[in-house]
Amino acid sequence: MGFRDMAKFNIALLAKQGWTLLTKPDCLLSRVLKARYYHAGSFLSAKLGSSPSYTWKSIWCARGLIEKGVGWRIGNGFSVNIWRESWIDNNGNGRVVCDAIDSNHTLVADLIDHDSRIWKECLIRQLFSDEQATQILNMHIPHNDTPDMIVWKADRSGDYSVRSGYRLLIGATEGFSSSPTNQRDFEAKSFFKSLWSLPLPPKIKIFFWRFSNNLIPTLVNLSNQRMNVNTSCNFCNLEVESVEHLSHSCPFVQQILYSLGIKPPIFNQEQSWLEWLAGFFIKLSLLQRKLLTVSYWAIWFMRNQKMHEDFQENVEQTVNFISLQLTEFEALRAKSNPRAMTPYRWSPPRPGIIKANFDANVDAAHNSSVAGIILRNSEGSVMATGTFSFSFVPNAETAEAKAFEKAMSFCKELGFKNVEIEGDALAVISKAKKPKKDRSEVWAIISNIQSLKNDFDSIVFRHINRQGNNAAHVLAKEGRRFSNPRIWIEDAPLAVKIAVRADCRLTN
């Protein structure tokens, strides 16, 4: 029924205290326990000791969970052993897999050129397989001599949470990794991201999430729970009622979807149900995604009406019900937030300030990206534009973070001291604005951004949606035409000039 395993949940709670001992060595709890139990080492190497207190014994028993999910983000590399520690991003448990250990190189610091702050590519390709070498070279190193940072690899944020600890204990995952390793994982991640971003009521999106994960009480699921029920579909009586049947093979459902202009592809038996749905969903337009999501919710609503209240449905009534519900949702959304239906516009900065808009264009197939950066003054005039290519870019967040960093260094190189940095990468901008140390995969780039702030007299980070960032978006796409960095002073490519003029018209 979904109840937690309370013993494992308790361990996950205790591991939270163990994480505190690892990451906050200066707090009172850490200082007291370290002085008593592991004064010469760390929490991960501590022994239980003789006559331990109940508090220490409890926290120490959760150490195994911490060891299972702990890893490192590389700064200067002097704290991390190449062959024993978990430090490689997007590589299973993060540890090196090799036939033989080269004892001449023991620390990750040996793999870094500390003068230029880049990886020693030739040495890395000599020591590791092509796959592992590529994964290492994809990792970013802070420009300054930053110490290595311990992180929790079972969560994208890099910080331990009780939720992620519990899921690790029961052997579950969060569905899909932050960096998909194949097309199916990429589609599944895109599906969930698209679902939660839909402008629909939470109850509709939550139902569709439960539906896609087969977490609704279909007759097949009830039968699997040993309930004595007739499993025939209530709509067609041709097959058993399961999420797969309700989604694509029930004639009643098919007629509804066709009436709404949605044609599901043929179900491939080699695919899982979720893979089929994800591949189908992400290819739809925004309107079709909303229609499909509301449709499955309405079909389940009609099914319950028929089963429990003997309501006689037909296709036309159901289609009208779906259309009416979607119209009401849109009206309520517009009424509760009048600005929700209005796109944000680019606005010029105050006099004396330069605004830099950035965006990234990602080529996932080749692990590369192009950053587009446009600088404008308080009159909306273009001061400079530039496109910059990057290799070893594993995901979109990294691409946006590198574009953000390049926007700051571009302003610095041109001598601007009072700037606003603006982009549509909400997650990256939020991390850069927080005083809390970032432990995520892009932490090295965020560290560089924080260091660059000191080179300006005043600097502000601001998020804007895609409509307001259109000129930078167009510039990043234009950058695909150039193999090398391109810079225009008080000029821009023709497509970008058109986008700039559109911004000025909207502003005026």
Using the predicted structure, report yes or no on whether residue 179 has a pLDDT greater than 50. Answer: no
3-class secondary structure per residue, 217-271: CCHHHHHHCCCCCCCECCCCCCCECCHHHHHHHCHHHHHHHHHCCCCCCCCCCCC
Residue with the bigger pLDDT between 102 and 490: it is: 490
Using the predicted structure, report yes or no on whether residue 174 has a pLDDT greater than 50. Answer: no
Using the predicted structure, report yes or no on whether residue 14 has a pLDDT greater than 80. Answer: yes
The stretch 466-470 carries a mean pLDDT of: 89
Q: Tokens representing 387?
A: 């496109």
Using the predicted structure, report yes or no on whether residue 176 has a pLDDT greater than 50. Answer: no
- List pLDDT tens digits, range 221-233: 898 888 888 888 8
Full DSSP string of 55-91: HHHHHHHTHHHHHHHEEEE-SSSTT-BTTTS---TTS
Check: CATH 3.40.50.800 for 354-507? no
- Could you tell me the sign of the dihedral formed by the alpha carbons of 126, 128, 133, 139, in that order? negative
- List pLDDT tens digits, range 336-369: 664 444 447 899 999 999 999 999 999 877 888 9
Scan for tokens 């230029």, then name that residue: 116
DSSP bridge partners of 197: none
| Cα angle 368-373-376, degrees, rounded to a multiple of 5 | 175
CB count within 10 Å of CB 475 equals: 29
Mean pLDDT of the chain: 86
Q: Which of 39-53, 91-105, 136-150, 419-433 has the highest mean pLDDT?
A: 419-433
**Shortest CA distance to 290 belongs to which of 184, 187, 201, 185?**
201
CA distance 367 to 402: 13
What is the reported pLDDT for 175? 36
- Asked whether the beta carbons of 272 and 184 are under 8 A apart, the reply is no
What is the reported pLDDT for 315? 84
CA distance 186 to 178: 9
What is the reported pLDDT for 170? 83
CA distance 386 to 374: 7
DSSP bridge partners of 420: 355, 460
3-state secondary structure of 154: coil
Q: Read off the pLDDT band of 177 (50, 70, 90).
A: very low
Q: 326: which residues sit within 8 A by CB, 6+ positions away?
A: 290, 291, 294
DSSP bridge partners of 150: 72
Q: Read off the pLDDT band of 185 (50, 70, 90).
A: low
Q: Read off the pLDDT band of 91 (50, 70, 90).
A: low
User: What's the pTM value of the predicted model, to 2 decimals?
Assistant: 0.66
| Cα angle 416-417-418, degrees, rounded to a multiple of 5 | 105
The stretch 474-496 carries a mean pLDDT of: 92
Using the predicted structure, report yes or no on whether residue 92 has a pLDDT greater than 80. Answer: no
Using the predicted structure, report yes or no on whether residue 204 has a pLDDT greater than 80. Answer: yes
